[in-house]
Amino acid sequence: MDESTDLQGKRLVLGLSGGIACYKSAELVRALVKAGASVQVVMTQAATQFITPVTMQALSNQPVVLDQWDARAPNNMAHINLTREADAVLVAPASADFIAKLVQGRADEILSLMCLARPIERCPLLLAPAMNREMWAHPATQRNIAQARADGATVLGPAAGDQACGEIGDGRMLEALALRDEVIAFFEPKRLAGKRVLITAGPTFEAIDPVRGITNLSSGKMGFAVARAAREAGAAVTLVAGPVHLPTPAGVRRIDVQSALQMHDAVLPLAPIHDVFVATAAVADWRPASLSDHKIKKDGAKQVPSFELTENPDILAAVARLPQRPYCVGFAAESHDLLKHAREKLIRKNVPLIVGNLGPATFGRDDNALLLVDAHGERQLATASKRALARELVREIAQRLSSPTAS
Ligand code: CTP
């Protein structure tokens, strides 16, 4: 599944209230449209001080609604019409003043009027707060945010960091692409709500000396995609990652490690408090038996150095042996005889599900093909993006968790 189809068919209303973060809303509308959504923009008068309706119209490809007396609607009821067909309203930026108005049920301009008039059961409201850190931290704003949540709104962000006023702290609106991803996640069915999922991803790096080591070609993309999909499905996700340069999926707790031993030591204490363990990491099977404190030098040496290797612990098998084990999913990266090796790992590691893939064909790529192997048989997931496959795998796991025979 390509990012560009994630919001296919979704009808969104994007509301802008007044704030400097309006400049991010231009990129946001573009990202939402690119992801397949149709976007109707509604702006308060204050928002038009920060960005022009011309820009927003051009990027959304739809005339912008600016006031409640807009005579273009045949029934002259823009505030009603706008939300009747919408799948969600996203207010980004949501200023402190706008949130206060929302909480009070005020309706003296088009955006708050429209929010009040929306069918609350059918048309969810998402708020992306944007304001100065003192305004955000003020008890009045915190009270209002809590009340907006209690009234059913979903609050996205805010982020922390540099602010337009020169101060640093909480209150920045999430970046456009992060907001787009939050909207995508919002629409995903919450199949793993209340579940805790632990994932390993990427290669490990087994040091030989301070500047060299043994590693492999795993990119971590599959594991990161599973982490994102599990979080989108409502799980609390912990991702233990080997050395990769991938951004952490939103809302995922990440623990960075280097070696197989570090990965093992990070995973084992966490495993019993998780419901699911997905081992996507390409853990190095061996590490140098001893680590040289200094860089091994070539000068003067007549002989090529040789290393003794020692076996790394099998993290997946160790988790599967725990008395309080989570539902364990292993990966098998093979170069040949995928089914045979995957089935053999299912038994050897004593796990209920192994996901086979051809390592050399998938390392570093954005797509993959998977073979799900369990005690009952196997199921092929045809070549697709790692994102789409990760979602399918999460669906499978959720189904197995809800089945009484899951172990
Ligand atoms: N695994 C693990 N710890 C290890 C080795 C593997 O947790 N030390 C996990 C992997 O994350 C994967 C599964 O076990 O989920 C299978 O890994 P793979 O490298 O395919 O298999 P190995 O057990 O290493 O066997 P072989 O190298 O002989 O194929």
Report CA(280)–ligand 1 centroid distance (Å): 9
Residue 404: the pLDDT is 61
Residue 73: the pLDDT is 86
**202 or 73, which is more confident?**
202
Q: Is the pLDDT of residue 315 over 90?
A: yes
**Is the CB–ligand 1 distance for residue 283 below 6 Å?**
yes
The 10s digit of each residue's pLDDT in 5-52 is 899 999 999 999 999 999 999 999 999 999 999 999 999 999 999 999
State the helix-helix crossing angle for 221-232 and 176-187, rounded to 10 degrees.
Answer: 60
Residue 405: the pLDDT is 63
**Is the CB–ligand 1 distance for residue 328 below 6 Å?**
no
Mutate to test the pocket of ligand 1, among 314, 328, 341, 373 (most ligand atoms within 8 A of CB): 314
pLDDT band at 359 (very low <50, low <70, confident <90, very high): confident
Q: Which residue puts its alpha carbon closest to atom 12 of ligand 1?
A: 331
C-alpha 38/C-alpha 36 separation (Å) is 7
Which domains, from first to last, does the chain contain? 3-187 (3.40.50.1950), 196-291+303-402 (3.40.50.10300)
Residue 1: the pLDDT is 43
Report CA(277)–ligand 1 centroid distance (Å): 14
The 10s digit of each residue's pLDDT in 104-132 is 999 999 999 999 999 999 999 999 999 99
Q: 47 CB contacts (<8 Å, ≥6 apart)? A: 16, 17, 18, 19, 22
Q: Is the pLDDT of residue 2 over 80?
A: no
**Is the CB–ligand 1 distance for residue 260 below 6 Å?**
yes
The 10s digit of each residue's pLDDT in 163-213 is 888 989 899 999 999 999 999 999 999 999 999 999 999 999 999 999 999
Q: What is the mean pLDDT of residues 232-241?
A: 98
Residue 81: the pLDDT is 86
Q: What is the mean pLDDT of residues 231-239?
A: 98
Which pairs count as long-range contacts for 156-164, CB under 8 Å and 24+ apart, including other chains? 156/92, 156/126, 156/127, 156/128, 156/182, 156/183, 157/128, 157/129, 157/182, 158/128, 158/129, 158/130, 158/131, 163/132, 163/133, 164/20
Report CA(314)–ligand 1 centroid distance (Å): 7
**Is the CB–ligand 1 distance for residue 333 below 6 Å?**
yes
Atom of ligand 1 nearest to the CA of 280: 11
Atom of ligand 1 nearest to the CA of 354: 15
**Is the CB–ligand 1 distance for residue 355 below 6 Å?**
no
Q: Which residue puts its alpha carbon closest to atom 21 of ligand 1?
A: 332
**Is the CB–ligand 1 distance for residue 330 below 6 Å?**
yes
Active site residue 165: yes
Residue 362: the pLDDT is 77
Report CA(148)–ligand 1 centroid distance (Å): 47
Mean pLDDT of the chain: 94
Which pairs count as long-range contacts for 134-137, CB under 8 Å and 24+ apart, including other chains? 134/167, 135/96, 135/171, 136/96, 136/169, 136/170, 136/171, 137/169, 137/170, 137/171
Report CA(284)–ligand 1 centroid distance (Å): 8
Structure tokens at 46: 């204050």
Q: Which residue puts its alpha carbon closest to atom 8 of ligand 1?
A: 314
**Is the CB–ligand 1 distance for residue 346 below 6 Å?**
no
Q: What is the mean pLDDT of residues 62-77?
A: 91
**Is the CB–ligand 1 distance for residue 285 below 6 Å?**
yes
Give the active site residue among 22, 123, 165, 328: 165
Q: What percent of the chain has pLDDT over 90?
A: 83
Atom of ligand 1 nearest to the CA of 313: 8
C-alpha 81/C-alpha 72 separation (Å) is 12
The 10s digit of each residue's pLDDT in 367-392 is 889 999 999 999 999 999 999 999 99
Residue 297: the pLDDT is 86
Q: What is the mean pLDDT of residues 229-236?
A: 98
Q: Which residue puts its alpha carbon closest to atom 9 of ligand 1?
A: 316
